[in-house]
Structure 1
Amino acid sequence: MAVFTVVSDQQLKDWLAHHDAGELQQAEPIASGIENTNYFVDTTRGRWVLTLVERLPVERLPFHLELMQHLAQRGIPCPAPLADREGRLFSPLNGKPATLVTRLSGKAVVDTTPEHCRAMGALLARMHLAAADFGPAPANVKGPEWWPIALEELRPRLEPALRTLAADELAAQQAWMDTPDWKNLPASAVHADIFRDNVLFTSPSEPSVIDFYFACHDTWLFDLAVVCNDWCLAPNDVTLDPARTDALLDGYRSVRAFDPAEKRGWTMALRAAALRFWLSRLYDLLLPREAAMLQPKDPTHFERILNDRRTLSGELH
């Protein structure tokens, strides 16, 4: 949980005066997430989410907001940014770039069912197709270029067995990314962080996606693997539950078919998604930032997922 920048009611009222969002009624800090500061904001004209961007370079912020705008305009259920009266999608608030987006209905689901997974798979495929013509997107800041950098910084703080695991998996991923298969995987702007707490359901068949601040250019297969590693776990385990996994993949296939390179690369993509979040959670735990509220997530969860996915073989069917 994290609130890095505290905003007073008066600061928020002054900032909202430049928007057609109505008068402030209530602002409540959101005690979730580990990257940005977020508030629920109620005004006389609606319900919103205020985000103060903490680490993302300001030059990247237009991409994230314009991607949300692009997807929302194409019928994807996601937050839509509200421009101020000067047409800006973000502006300074208490020293940080801040943006106001529509607040979606629904609740996150902890215990996913196959129905939830099938609906998420279909929505993810729709998102990929909708983003295909979005235009250039920045590289994944926590992607393959960052992994060796993170490992080098973490190395003095890791036990030898963990250093060996990370180095071995990094080498395997680099070898895969040198293949024609990987280079030909379909890719575009993707969310790259669709965990269960970033999806709201009004019913098991109606998901909407929030928190696009890790969005980047990456493969559609990686984006799907991120979802699978979080949504499709067996109860009280890190192995993949067949019913949930099949439902996720069937939902995706109902909108878009996998190409042969994606079928062959599925297990490596699951491993890549596990490595990414294991390293980032290690980094947040062992090299933390200060925050008004901060509770780093347990990296051992993704260590166990990575070890399990390294035992898998086979292709998508």
Structure 2
Amino acid sequence: MAVFTSVTLGDLTQWIKQFPLGQAVALKGIASGIENSNFFLTTESGEYVLTIFENLSFEQLPFYLELMHHLAERGVLVPAPVATHDGELIVPLHGKPAAIVSKLEGSSQMAPQPAHCAAVGTMLARMHLAAQDYPLEQPNLRGLDWWNLTTPKVLPYLSAENAHLLRAEMHFQEAFAGCDTYRQLQRGPVHADLFRNNVMFVGERLTGFFDFYFAGCDTWLFDVAVTINDWCIDLATGVLDTARVRAMLDAYHAVRPFTDAEQTAWQPMLRAAALRFWLSRLYDYYQPREAEMLTPHDPTHFERILRERIATPAPELRG
């Protein structure tokens, strides 16, 4: 959510008239994240988030925005996309696809406690079940195919030790993705990026998930692993906090019980989730794009997490 494409209030004077929102009265760039250009937008009718998509195409975007609409209709707490007077959710701005969504109440909880993790687990399970009948299909664009494309691009920058780790883990994950257990895992639309800064709270009350622009169809267990690897760790070491892990997993399991295949796949999937973000952070760090307010994330954070997941078994899915 850095700013790659600059926008001013003047740019919106005519553009905003497509929407039933009145005039734009304030606009502020959002510095966090690294994929799209995001702005807090205030109009005569309220507060919203304006996103200009830097990588996703007009053809790809309906999957994400229609998914948010689908989930919102089923009671999952997500931002609601705003349609134009003609019913369009995606419109050009400075030659790139753009959309407006409602702004969620509250703020991100960057020091989560077990109660916050339980709320996330409950809503994540509800999200997976609510999306079961979502009709659009799109793969996780940062899945195994992307890992295979990206690995040779980052290997030249790595130490011999880290290059060995990356090659070995890719070999492990290729084998895991081809096994019978993996093929038995429950699948459907997933968020795939549910970090602490993508969830809003007021106190211990969860008010919404946002930033669905890495979503795709993948295993539900991968989504759980991505979430656990951020919400339930000591940030300095990557070590899992058992109390937070149990709170999230037990809350999820109470809504959508884990299967035997998921129990078997849990440890490899935690490694897969760590690998995915180590790879993307390596790529963003060594192949940076120019943007206002962009600071690439430190890749060593997820290297530590991957090494820790390999070395230390995590708590079981079912306590």
1:200 aligns with 2:211: no
In the alignment, the residues of structure 2 paired with residue 119 and residue 250 of structure 1 have an alpha-carbon distance, to the nearest angstrom, of 11
Q: Equivalent residue for 1:166? A: 166
Distance 1:8 1:313 in 2: 50
Q: Displacement of 1:136 after TM fit?
A: 3.5
- What is the distance in 2 between the residues matched to 1:114 and 1:98? 36
CA distance in 2 between partners of 1:8 and 1:207 (Å): 29
Aligned partner of residue 28 in structure 2, secondary structure: strand
Does residue 117 (structure 1) correspond to residue 117 (structure 2)? The answer is yes
Q: Which residue of 2 aligns with 1:126?
A: 126
Q: Deviations over 1:297-317 (max 9, x none)?
A: 000000000000012347433
1:161-203 Cα shifts (integer Å, max 9, x gaps): 1111011001111111111110111111111000000000013
What SS is found at the alignment partner of 2:101? strand
Q: SS of the counterpart of 2:100?
A: strand
For the residues of structure 2 that align with 1:151 and 1:269, how far apart are their CA atoms?
A: 18
Contact 1:264 1:316 in 2 (8 A): no
Task: Report the Cα distance in structure 2 between the residues aligned to 1:250 and 1:38, rounded to whole angstroms.
Answer: 34
Identity value in percent? 48
Give the aligned partner of residue 54 of structure 1.
54
Question: Alignment length, in residue pairs?
Answer: 317
CA distance in 1 between counterparts of 2:267 and 2:14 reads: 51
SS in 2 for 1:17: helix
One-letter amino acid of the structure 1 residue matched with residue 173 of structure 2: Q
Partner of 1:152: 152
AA aligned to 2:121 is G
Q: Secondary structure at the match of 1:33?
A: coil
The gaps in structure 2 that reach 5 residues or longer are none
Give the C-alpha shift of residue 134 in structure 1.
0.3
SS at match of 1:49: strand
Provide the residue aligned with 1:107 in structure 2.
Answer: 107
Letter in 2 for 1:167: R
CA contact (8 A) 1:120 1:207 kept: no
The runs of 5 or more residues in structure 1 that have no matched partner are: none
1:42 aligns with 2:42: yes
Contact 1:181 1:265 in 2 (8 A): yes
**Alpha-carbon offset, residue 48 of structure 1:** 0.5
Tell me if 1:316 matches 2:313. Answer: no
- In the TM superposition, structure 1's runs of 4+ consecutive aligned residues that sit over 4 Å from their partners are none
Query: Residue in 2 aligned with 1:232?
Result: 232
> Could you report, residue by residue, the CA deviation over 1:216-246 in whole angstroms, capped at 9, with x for unpaired residues?
0111000000000000013643110100000
Mapped partners of 1:127, 1:290: distance in 2: 34
1:172 partner SS: helix
1:244-303 per-position Cα deviation (integer Å, ceiling 9, x unaligned): 000010110121100000011111110000000000000000011111221000000000
TM-score, reference length from structure 2: 0.97
Alignment check: 8 A CA contact 2:58 2:90 kept: no
- Separation (CA, whole Å) in 2 of partners of 1:77 and 1:119: 12
3-state secondary structure, aligned to 2:218: strand
Tell me the C-alpha RMSD between the 2 structures.
Answer: 1.2
The TM-score normalised by the length of structure 1 is: 0.97
Aligned partners of 1:91, 1:110: CA distance in 2, in Å?
33
Q: Does 1:89 align with 2:89?
A: yes
Distance in 1 between the 2:83 and 2:112 partners?
35
Letter in structure 2 aligned against 1:79? P
Contact 1:2–1:294, Cα closer than 8 Å, also in 2: yes
Q: How does 1:254-273 map to 2 (within 5 A)?
A: 254-273=254-273
Written as runs of structure 1 = structure 2, the 5 A alignment for 1:18-33 is 18-33=18-33
